Structure formats: C-alpha cells, structure tokens
Amino acid sequence: MTLKVLIIGDIMGKAGRKAVAHFLPALREEYGIDTVIANAENLAHGKGVTRTTLREMTDAGVDCFTSGNHVWAKPEGVEILSAQDSVLLRPANYPPQNPGQGEKILSIATKSLLVVNLMGRDFMPAGVDCPFRALDAILAKHASTPLNGIIVDFHGEVTSEKHAIALYADGRVSAVVGTHTHVPTADERILPKGTGFQSDIGMCGVRDTLIGITYESGIQRFLSSRPTHFEVAESGLTVFNSVLLEIDPKTRQTVRIERIGKELTI
C-alpha cells in the first residue's frame, strides 16, 4: 500500500480557508488520503497565522502546516511556533535563534513521514541560511530514523532554484514541492531517482486577482512605484490548488504525482 499525501498550496485569507473547508473532506474520502499538509503563511487575511484560522483548517482536515517569510507577521504566529510539538513549521534555514522548528515527523498509523520546510534565497525578502546545507544537515540528523517518506516544502520565488534543490535532493527525499508564488506550474513529475517534484503548487484564493490581492489595491503599486496597502480578496471565483503524492513506504520514492485543482464561487 502506498502512502497518500495531499499538499495544499498557500491558503490566502478567508476565501482560501473556505475553499479548503469545502473541498478537503470529500477529497480525503475520495482518494483515501493518509495525511494533509498545507502552507499557512497567508492564512490570516493574507499575512501570518492566528490560532483561530489554524484551528479552522485543522477542523477541515489539515494535519500539518508549513510556512514562509510571512509567518512572522502576527504575534500569535510566533507564539504558535514557540509551542512544544506545534503543528506549524517555519523554514528550517532561518537563523537558529528564531522560535519554532523547520521539520516535524508525522505518525500515520504505523508509518512515519518527515516534513521539512525550507526557504529560497533568490529574490526573497529575508536573508536566510543556505537551504542546500540546511537540507543536508536535516537528512544527516535523521539518517538512522525509521522513515517511510520525506516531504520538502521549498518556499521560494525562482523556479530555477526550486529545480536545483529538487535535483540536489533527488533520491534522498520523497518529494520537493514549491510554494510562495501562488501560481500553479504544470511541471509535476517524478525525477530520475524517484523524487516527486512540482515548482509551485499554487494557492487557495480568489482567482481573478493579483495572486489573491484585489486588483484595485494591487495595481497602485505598479502605477505609482510606491508602497501601498494590499487588500486580500474575499469573494469571487475561488481556486483550490493542491498536489497528491503516492509514496512507496519501503523505498520512500514517489510512484505517482497528480495536480488536483478545484473551483467554487464564494
């Protein structure tokens, strides 16, 4: 039997949370999904995480949350990260004095899945440590740990950097999936040594916007070149973007990868 893991792209505010709550329970049943991971850095009105929004998503069926540079936006998010055995991760390659963990082992019946959160450096706003070396250190740390799969959420801007770390990790992890751009890529595949890969899963949020931001608030940044307030779109045709992985628990290789996209009007 394969280990079926659904990974949900960046959940953008209230509309994204509604899409997850609408689609996820049925998807878990339809595909027999064993565990669900979602990127939560935009969960609370587009920036950061709160206990209420996190609970809303765990109630919908999400088991573990990764994040990125926006996870620090709300004080509650930092408190959640600081809690022992938190379900929320932050990128592991942030400097070590930061609160939170960048990796977590999920127990799924008799199986164990290591989830790793990393962030890219190219064109990203935060200066973080080398993600390649951070991954090496995590894999070395867990070299003797009995694991049935290893998932890496690589939160980054540049597809070439995401491709590079996926090929660097090929054969050593089950999958590398990208988050952050909110735009789903059509490059999902299994790499030569058995690692599943997609440059970016996409987002859960209102479709006809500037990656979840209302056109009216976002366009001013382009027209004026000045910092402007971004307003998260809360209604309209809303997309749910995810990727389903089937992992052989003996070899830890991905044997199947499928993009799953849904739409509803909120």
Q: How many domains does the chain have?
A: 1
Chain centroid to Cα 172, Å, comes to 19
Q: CB count, 10 Å around CB of 81?
A: 19
Q: Report pLDDT digits (tens) over 94-107.
A: 999 999 999 999 99
Selecting among 22, 45, 70, 163, the annotated active-site residue is 70
C-alpha–C-alpha distance, residues 247 and 90, integer Å: 24
Looking at residue 156, its pLDDT comes to 97
Q: Report pLDDT digits (tens) over 67-92.
A: 999 999 999 999 999 999 999 999 99
For tokens 């004080």, name the residue: 75
What would the mean pLDDT of 20-31 be, rounded to a whole number?
98
**Residue-averaged pLDDT of the chain:** 97
Give the dihedral sign, CA 100/119/248/33.
positive
C-alpha–C-alpha distance, residues 50 and 76, integer Å: 5
C-alpha–C-alpha distance, residues 54 and 88, integer Å: 9
Q: What percent of the chain has pLDDT over 90?
A: 97
Contact partners, residue 219, CB within 8 Å, separation at least 6? 210
- State yes or no: pLDDT of 255 exceeds 90: yes
What would the mean pLDDT of 229-250 be, rounded to a whole number?
97
Q: Report pLDDT digits (tens) over 162-217.
A: 999 999 999 999 999 999 999 999 999 999 999 999 999 999 999 999 999 999 99
Identify whether 229 is a catalytic site residue. no
Q: Assign 126 a pLDDT band (cuts: 50, 70, 90).
A: confident
What would the mean pLDDT of 17-26 be, rounded to a whole number?
98
Q: Report pLDDT digits (tens) over 208-231.
A: 999 999 999 999 999 999 988 899
- According to the 3-state scheme, what is the secondary structure of 71-114? HHCCHHHHHHHHCCCCCECCCCCCCCCCCCCCEEEEEECCEEEE
Looking at residue 125, its pLDDT comes to 79
Q: Residue 48 is part of which domain span? A: 3-265
The CATH number covering residue 55 comes to 3.60.21.10
What would the mean pLDDT of 49-55 be, rounded to a whole number?
98
Looking at residue 95, its pLDDT comes to 95
What's the chain's length in residues?
266
